[in-house]
Amino acid sequence: MAAAARAPPPPRALSAEPRRGSPAAVGVSAPWPGARVRAARHREENFRSHCMLTSSNLNSRPLLCPPCNCAQMALADTRISYQPDVEKHTGVLAYELVQGNLVQWNSFMDKSIPDPPTAVLLHGILGSRKNWGSFAKRLAQEFPMWQFLLVDLRCHGDSASVKKRGPHNVASTALDVLKLVVQLRLTPRVLVGHSFGGKVALSMVEQAAKPLARPVRVWILDATPGKVRAGGDGEDHPAELIEFLRRMPTQVSSKQEVVDALVKGQFSVDVAQWVATNLRRSNPVGQQSSSSFSWTFDLNGISEMYKSYEDTNLWRIVENVPRGVHINFLKAERSLHRWALEDLQRIHTAEELAADEGGGVEMHVLEDAGHWVHADNPDGLFRILSSTFRIETTIRGIQD
């Protein structure tokens, strides 16, 4: 894929720890002791990509987001700054770049400094980049030479206001992310996708040899390459939830109104409270009277995306893994209905084939976890994923 004609300067980033000698910067409190997050200094040029994260509020606290209970950073004064000529940036998504404190972006001025290794973290349907916030900061603290790109996929979060042409499907969503990493001049070495995001990661590998590195390691968290088996064991079915939300008013008077409506509609309290975190106050800051809330996502687009998630079959990339690609599947122990015996047998067969062809396929099981793996057992997930960053660090000869 060709890069954009006018490539932007290095992206603005959030660092897991302040670097020595850097001026004090405004940040947010981190979800574990001793960690601090700050906004990096402005670059000499204005960042020409569509979305740029700025943050303030020293006393922000993590918010728990059911049912995944991920620690979402509450950026009270966060703004997404948009360039007025948005049609020139149709491939760009809202994002955060979480950097370890040893990451240097001087490679743009001094080519003798290698680009920092990058991992891309992708959320699932009705999620956002915030689902990965605290987990990414934990990774950045453990692996300070790495940086982690957190993306709001099309129709989700702050990317919902970026007008995208249809179809809204797995392939177009993957292409969005590929365009973003080109514009940010990043070369991802690790892709991590949860649920829908897992298929997006697989589609990225299928669509483009570049800008993906070789080797590249892909993690698909609690999703299979083919048939989607959701809504079993009494769980809320995503398609039914999306359609219910589409029938609700586009603006509501309070988040509790949405929670009450969902519970009355026989959805679980956890899911109802989680969905309500996707509401944003409609009135400008400071105008609290007659407040109303509206969705941060495009429900019509998300409905198409979920249908594509059910229909998309990517077994071909798993059963014919390109050289230099290592695909890891992670099955949540308690997510039984999402996995059929035929899926597990097919992945096991792919493991043997990939080993013979110079690629890799591997199956992992996360104990004591349901579908929301990064909330149900974050410590276990961290231990499993950490092996990838240690391996990649050794391959590149980086000393953490």
Residues of the chain with pLDDT > 70, as a percent, come to 69
Token pair in block for residue 349: 């067969």
Rounded CA separation 184/199 (Å): 22
Token pair in block for residue 304: 């198409």
Q: Is 366 helix (H, G, I), strand (E, B) or coil?
A: strand
In 3D, which of 38, 68, 61, 201 has the Cα closest to residue 128? 68
Tell me what the mean pLDDT of segment 299-328 comes to: 94
pLDDT at 346 over 50: yes
Tell me what the mean pLDDT of segment 129-143 comes to: 95
Ordered by start, the domain boundaries in the chain are 14-107+114-229+307-396, 238-282+289-304
Residues of the chain with pLDDT > 90, as a percent, come to 49
The model's pTM: 0.75
Largest CA distance in the chain: 66
Token pair in block for residue 66: 């059911």
Tell me what the mean pLDDT of segment 212-221 comes to: 91
Res 395: pLDDT: 58
Residue 327: which H helix or E strand, with range?
strand 325-332
CATH superfamily, domain at 14-107+114-229+307-396: Alpha/Beta hydrolase fold, catalytic domain (3.40.50.1820)
| Cβ neighbours around 344 below 10 Å, total | 14
Res 291: pLDDT: 76
Res 64: pLDDT: 33
pLDDT, one tens digit per residue, over 88-134 is 334 589 999 999 999 876 545 566 667 789 999 999 999 999 999 99
Task: Give the ranges where the chain is alpha helix by DSSP (H).
Answer: 133-142, 170-183, 196-207, 238-246, 255-264, 269-276, 299-311, 315-319, 341-357, 373-376, 378-396
pLDDT at 37 over 60: no
Going 88 to 91 to 96 to 101, the CA torsion angle's sign is negative
Residue 97: which H helix or E strand, with range?
strand 95-99
Res 55: pLDDT: 28
Tell me what the mean pLDDT of segment 178-203 comes to: 95
Q: At what angle do helices 269-276 and 255-264 cross, to 10 degrees?
A: 150
CB 195, CB 212: distance < 8 Å: no
pLDDT at 204 over 90: yes
Tell me what the mean pLDDT of segment 357-365 comes to: 85
CB 182, CB 175: distance < 8 Å: no
Res 240: pLDDT: 92
Rounded CA separation 225/169 (Å): 15
Res 84: pLDDT: 30
Burial of 291 (0-12, 13-18, 19+ CB in 10 A): exposed
Res 60: pLDDT: 30
Tell me what the mean pLDDT of segment 345-360 comes to: 83
Token pair in block for residue 297: 């996502």
Lowest average pLDDT, out of 165-174, 182-191, 347-356, goes to 347-356
Res 215: pLDDT: 86
Res 230: pLDDT: 74
pLDDT at 4 over 60: no
pLDDT at 286 over 70: no
pLDDT at 29 over 50: no
Average pLDDT score over the chain: 76
Who wins on pLDDT, 334 or 230? 334
Confidence of residue 353 (pLDDT cuts 50, 70, 90): confident
Instruction: Note the Cα 281 to chain centre separation in Å.
Output: 23
In 3D, which of 134, 122, 183 has the Cα closest to residue 378? 134
For every residue of 176-198, DSSP letters joined together read HHHHHHHHTT--EEEEEEETHHH
pLDDT at 284 over 50: yes
